Amino acid sequence: MGLLITGYCHIREGKAVVNDQLRFYKENFLNFADFIKSIYRQEELSYPKFFKMDGLSKLGFLTAELVLKAGNINKYSEEEAGVILLNSSSSLDTDIVHQNSINDPSNYFPSPSVFVYTLPNIVIGEICIKNRFKGENAFFVSEKFDPQLIQDQVTGMMGRGRTKACLCGWVELMGEKADSFLVLVEDSERADRDEIRKFNPVAFTEQTLTELFHRN
């Protein structure tokens, strides 16, 4: 089985890049919330639940949407699509918001809408719900971007035969610092040749993951 990266997306430093093409750029933005909403509106997405998500989920969700819009994930069944993500701070950005809501005993009011996002794998849930993915998935916490971990996990998952396509990569948000990088990995035998012309596919290896992560 040969695995190919057939698409990727970065969202970082005020811009979104999809398959080597600059999709969005805003030199000055007030905060992450305004920045991520600007990309959402530019892409003319229609998914009201987006506005209820925490920042990490918005970042991962939107990065996934940009990758998937550029490809053809619909050729796979719901059970054939998997997700593997990692970051370094888990859900800490939202954990802090939740903790602040319970620090003052005289104003103790924890919000259920915040608490539900105090697990990092919720971002995978949001991606899977929107795209009806029912395949294997996992979220890992790593000190830094770890291409070997990603490759090992995705190769193992797809090697078992049930998963034919996997969205994988890095989704990190802490305060105003956002950095996401997702790639779509497909079995070379199932990759759409018309789709491949839109992005020159590369072998799914540690080296290519590292090169794409640091690109743009």
Average pLDDT rounded to a whole number, residues 19-24: 95
- Residues 48-104 have pLDDT tens digits of 999 999 999 999 999 999 999 988 898 999 999 999 999 999 999 998 988 988 887
Longest dimension (CA), the chain: 62
Q: Of 25, 27, 68, whose CA–CA distance to 45 is shortest?
A: 68
CA-to-CA distance for 95 and 173, rounded, in angstroms? Answer: 12
DSSP string, 8-71: EEEEETTEEEETTEEEEE-S--S-HHHHHHHHHHHTT---GGGGGS-HHHHHHHHHHHHHHHTS
Under CATH, to which class is 3-213 assigned? alpha beta
- Residues 157-215 have pLDDT tens digits of 999 999 999 999 999 999 999 999 999 999 987 676 555 446 889 999 999 999 999 99
Q: Are 186 and 164 in contact (CB under 8 A)?
A: yes
Cβ atoms within 10 Å of 187's Cβ, excluding its own: 19
